[in-house]
Amino acid sequence: MKQPKNKYKRWDIIILLIFLIIFVIICILFGTTKDDSEWVNAKECTFTRTYKILAIYDSNDDDYKWITIRSYQDEDIATVKIKNKYNINKNENYEIKFKVEGKIKKDNISDIYNNSSIISIDETDKEGLEQLNEKICS
């Protein structure tokens, strides 16, 4: 006696659904993980950037001040908080040395300041292309 074909078709569909569910779970698990290649850096290091001080503002905290900075030939302008111990002047260029403490996603002022600390700030008379703008931990 022959078995009905419907019985086998049902098992084929159930097995297909199980494989589909497993495939979706694997895609979700491995598709949402971030690897280090998406980050500008993935290690601890130091680098130096030159910025022009566009403005200086007092902070509510006496230990800090706010500065608005911009690097040469860059449209990225940001206001960041620095310690008051650094003696800086408006419209002057400064080489700022950073120590990376985390991963920097984008090479912009905000990401650099949010994921690193300032080691030193030194005034420079270098102009334009002479300014020091090292890559982030390359």
**Predicted confidence pLDDT, tens digits, the chain (138 residues):** 555 555 567 778 888 889 889 888 887 877 655 544 455 555 678 889 999 999 999 999 999 999 999 988 888 889 999 999 999 999 999 999 999 877 778 888 888 888 888 999 999 988 888 887 888 875
pLDDT of 37? 47
On whether residue 74 sits in a domain, the answer given is yes
HEC letters along the chain: CCCCHHHHHHHHHHHHHHHHHHHHHHHHHHHCCCCHHHCCCCCCCEEEEEEEEEEEEECCCCCEEEEEEECCCCCCEEEEEEECCCCCCCCCEEEEEEEECCCCCCCCHHHHHHCEEEEEEEEECCCHHHCCECCCCC
Residue 81 is part of which domain span? 46-130
Q: Is residue 62 part of a domain?
A: yes
Q: Report the predicted TM-score, pTM, of the whole model to 2 decimal places.
A: 0.65
Task: Confirm whether 118 is domain-assigned.
Answer: yes
Flag whether 13 is in a domain. no
Q: Is residue 9 part of a domain?
A: no
Residue 2, in any domain of the structure: no
Residue 4 has a pLDDT of: 55
In a domain, 121, yes or no: yes
Give the chain's domain count: 1
Assess if residue 41 is contained within a domain. Answer: no
